[in-house]
Amino acid sequence: MTNDQRNHDMAKRLAEAVRARGGTAYYVGGYVRDSLLHIENKDIDIEVHGIDAAALADVLDTLGERVSMGESFGIFSLKGYGIDIAMPRKERAIGKGHRDFETFTDPWIGTYEAAKRRDFTVGALMMDVLTGEITDHFGGAEDLKRGVLRHVCEETFTEDPLRVLRLAQFAARFGFSPAEETLALCRGMSLSFLSRERVWEELRKAMLKSEKPSVFFEVLRRTDQLGDWFPEVRALIGVEQNPAYHAEGDVFTHTMMVLDEAAKYREDTADPFAFMLTALCHDFGKAVCTQMLDGKLCSRDHETLGLPLVERFLLRLTNETRMISYVMNLTAHHMRPNAIAAFGSSVKATNKMYDAVRAPKDLFYFAKADHFGRISDVAAPFREEFLLERLRIYEQTMAQPYVMGRDLIAAGLKAGPHFSELLAYAHKLRLAGVKKEAALKQTLAYERELKKQASKCNPKGNNS
């Protein structure tokens, strides 16, 4: 029996035990939505109505090892099963931001009031675990058919600003269109008090679970909600580009096209989320350096001039230094592959290019996304075979034996600070395709030359 089958079997056993106590167990939230859309969802959420917390705890104890995930909120699970079990609850905003809520449970609140606290009608659907009967108080089934995201209740929706980001994220993931009245509500909400962790999580879902992540930012643009957390993205709106190479329009439009192209390759990269963030950030510099030169729009050095903006953006959302380093590294070098391929540069040049980035294969995929994320009749064609062949050569080069510190010691040198310079020299030879034995001889000769030059500069051995 698979884990999914075990979970569903346990859900049925739970529902039967609850019914024996006079209650009803419902599948709720995303699980119902995805079931009706025939989308796999392994996150099973069950809401139990009609029995109190003590009775529910007793039921769970008879089925397995009960785990409390928030007993004051009436949220439980069973050890070894992927099921979250909750009691119906109400929430009341008592402050600003997603965390400032007063929550209390009420097993007899009824399905209408329980569903009313949900954000969108398509997520307010409930399904009886035993009968499969759908309870739909707010027209969610019809909105699901039409592909519409509509808020359940104006009063409760506006209490939680995170729902603006959830609207954008769901629109991107499911290809649904936000209802105009819901967009209007979002325009009047403030996202400034949200925690960055919640913003980061919604962004991550949009980037990794959407075929078109651009929709996330398009919705935020339509609701005028880019300013608090994504001002660098907003700054790209209206920044013109050379129409010969970017007939698609401004930098924002290009960035959105690159995002959607990058989504096609993200699963083949070393870090899919960081890769997608690079697609978002790669042209931030164009907002500060685009100018007219000799009658043409250009953005010289935007890949490096934008790095402070990239860092500021990422630090607003995360402290993950590895991810920040990845994005800034790939951003700094994102222009090189297409330029080098256009000139048909040497193996040494492409080896140096791939060696400069933390994820060489990801640089290739990003170059592909950047090339096809635009409209141009004059741009050189994407030289995929050239870049892939050079990537293969680089990987083969790096797999060969190479000069290491222990080789220098074995040759009679004493370890010291000067080793870093010698190893850097040896690494250049390695990238140039020089075999280890020859590279070691050249590195030792280089060391002797350094000593000779040092003695000329300090003939009396004066260390003062």
Q: Do 246 and 365 belong to one domain?
A: yes
pLDDT digits (tens, 9 = 90+) for 68-123: 876 566 789 999 999 999 999 876 655 555 455 566 789 999 999 999 999 999 99
pLDDT digits (tens, 9 = 90+) for 292-319: 888 888 899 999 999 999 999 999 999 9
Q: Examine the fold and report which residue of 359, 383, 399 is the final residue of a domain before the chain moves on.
A: 399
Q: Do 18 and 130 belong to one domain?
A: yes
In a domain, 354, yes or no: yes
CA 2 to chain centre: 29
Confidence at residue 464, expressed as pLDDT on a 0 to 100 scale: 43
pLDDT tops 50 at residue 150:
yes
Q: What is the mean pLDDT of residues 317-344?
A: 96
Would you say 124 and 118 are in contact if contact means Cβ atoms under 8 Å apart? Answer: yes
Q: Do 35 and 129 belong to one domain?
A: yes
Residues 40 and 341: their CA atoms lie apart, in Å, by 41
In a domain, 121, yes or no: yes
pLDDT digits (tens, 9 = 90+) for 276-295: 999 999 999 999 999 988 88
Q: What tokens were used for 172? A: 């991107």
Q: Do 211 and 307 belong to one domain?
A: no
Name the residue range of residue 192's domain: 161-229
Confidence at residue 19, expressed as pLDDT on a 0 to 100 scale: 97
Q: Which residues neighbour 382 within 8 Å (Cβ) at sequence distance 6 or greater?
A: 338, 341, 367, 368, 371, 372
Burial class (CB in 10 A: 0-12, 13-18, 19+), 210: buried
Q: Who has greater pLDDT, 69 or 139?
A: 139
- Identify the H or E element spanning 298: strand 296-298
Give the chain's domain count.
Answer: 4
In a domain, 395, yes or no: yes
Average confidence score pLDDT of the chain:
93
Q: Do 411 and 352 belong to one domain?
A: no
Q: What tokens were used for 299? A: 């953005």
What dihedral do alpha carbons 90, 94, 96, 100 form, nearest 10°? -60
pLDDT tops 60 at residue 326:
yes
